[in-house]
Amino acid sequence: MTRTKLDTEVKTHIPGIKLSALASGIRYEDRLDLVLIELPEEATLAGVFTRNAFCAAPVKIAREHLADADIRYFLINTGNANAGTGVEGEEVALRCCQWLAEAAGVRATQVLPFSTGVIGEALPADRIHAAIPELYATLTPDNWIPAATGIMTTDTHPKFRTRLLKLAGQDFRISGFAKGSGMIKPNMATMLAFVFSDIRIEVATLKRQLEDVVSQSFNRITVDGDTSTNDACMLVASGKGIVFEELQAADQGLYQAAVRELFQELAMDLIKDAEGGTKFITVNVTGGRNGQECLAVAYALAESPLVKTALFASDPNWGRILAAVGRAEVENLDVSGVSIRLGKLSLIENGELSANYSERQGKQQVDKTDIEISVELGRGSHAETVWTSDLSHDYVRINAEYRS
């Protein structure tokens, strides 16, 4: 599977954004596990969070603070999710916000907490408390890669993306990073992700843009069908650059496309680093009456253990693909209108095995590390795409040994 090549020497400045990361020993020694991000006073931001009913304590606090205050800091820890920890977990998350606020000279409600890691264990607040002075003192504009590394759990490498473009004759930059390798299933966004730009934009506009780009990126990926308790995705406009609302329509379109593309790149980076993953799989579903039924088919394929294990083994077991499409929740699906392709190879035509299909050709397609499955439903004009990974022995091993 294609891996993202990351320049560990990358330096990118977004005015007013500073970052730091250090090892505080939350779960492992000598591993970056605490990250701080400082936002300028002019910043506007929007966030989306998990819809899991057992959402983590920091998710609850972050939602409340985001609604009530001008946010200045993100405080992120790994190793411990602070989920399933009840009232005590919320109190710890609030204390962490207060300790950072005292160091920075802001209100506790101006701090958003984020956590990721093992569910159900108490957060070692004393270690975070001890680390905060150094964490705050080491904020710099260049710590993008340490910050991206510091939010990792089972990820094998940091996921960071940046791009530069011109809007109204001025340079414009967008940069962001994300984490997530398992427990990946969209129900908002799935993982932790933080994306920043140097534009000025109204909060209401930013919220609409975030919902749009998340729906076409982090809400279109799945590794194992499990939605985490801690998922959060933040989009921040520094407020230091050009004003979005004053841009010409063409430049607004360029900006929105750049944000969407960066979100999609980060989302695909997560799948390319999926736990135990060896293959990157794109599932395209076209010809639906609406997007919902296209997604139903796409996820039936993308989350089928039988399909995913067959692809891991490079076995062109097309019966598994056919069965997954057939069991998707599509009302009155007429299989005589369904066609399926592996890459450019025709597998099913009008509900039946293609006369030109051969096992040898099918094997050639599933031997690849990047595999594309395309399904035409023949019912309408809607289309959706989902990205996923295969299911390997290593996925089982990683998750069986996760707490050991």
- Are 284 and 388 in contact, with CB atoms under 8 Å apart? no
Q: Per-residue confidence of the chain (404 residues) as pLDDT tens digits?
A: 544 444 434 457 899 999 999 999 999 888 999 999 999 999 999 999 987 777 889 999 999 999 988 999 999 999 998 888 899 999 999 999 999 999 999 999 999 999 998 888 889 999 999 999 999 999 999 999 999 999 998 888 999 999 999 899 888 899 999 998 665 565 544 579 999 999 999 999 999 999 999 999 998 998 877 667 778 999 999 999 899 999 999 999 999 999 999 999 999 999 998 777 899 999 999 999 999 999 999 999 999 999 999 999 999 999 999 999 999 999 999 999 999 999 999 999 999 999 999 999 999 999 999 999 999 999 999 999 999 998 888 878 877 776 65
Residue span(s) of the chain under CATH 3.60.70.12 come to 18-272
Q: 210: which 2 tokens?
A: 């975030």
Please name which of 74, 136, 69, 134 lies closest in space to residue 104, comparing C-alpha atoms: 136
Angle at 257 between CA 252 and CA 263, to 5 degrees: 130
- Supply the pTM of this predicted model: 0.89
- Are 265 and 355 in contact, with CB atoms under 8 Å apart? no
Residue span(s) of the chain under CATH 3.10.20.340 come to 280-400
Q: How far is CA 97 from the centre of its chain?
A: 24
109 is catalytic: no
Report CA-CA distances (Å) from 382 to 142, 350, 378: 43, 18, 10
Report CA-CA distances (Å) from 100 to 35, 127, 133, 136, 142: 12, 13, 8, 8, 21
| pLDDT given at position 8 | 39
State how far the Cα of 212 lies from the Cα of 162, in Å rounded to an integer.
19
| pLDDT given at position 403 | 61
- Are 48 and 233 in contact, with CB atoms under 8 Å apart? yes
Q: Which fold has domain 18-272?
A: L-amino peptidase D-ALA esterase/amidase (3.60.70)
Domain 280-400 sits in CATH at 3.10.20.340
Please name which of 130, 53, 115, 125 lies closest in space to residue 82, comparing C-alpha atoms: 115
Strands 170-179 and 159-167: antiparallel
| pLDDT given at position 6 | 43
| pLDDT given at position 9 | 42
**Phi, psi dihedral angles at 384 (to 5 degrees):** -145, 155
Report CA-CA distances (Å) from 329 to 146, 303, 361: 43, 14, 30
Point out the catalytic residue in the list 190, 222, 286, 388.
190
State how far the Cα of 295 lies from the Cα of 327, in Å rounded to an integer.
13
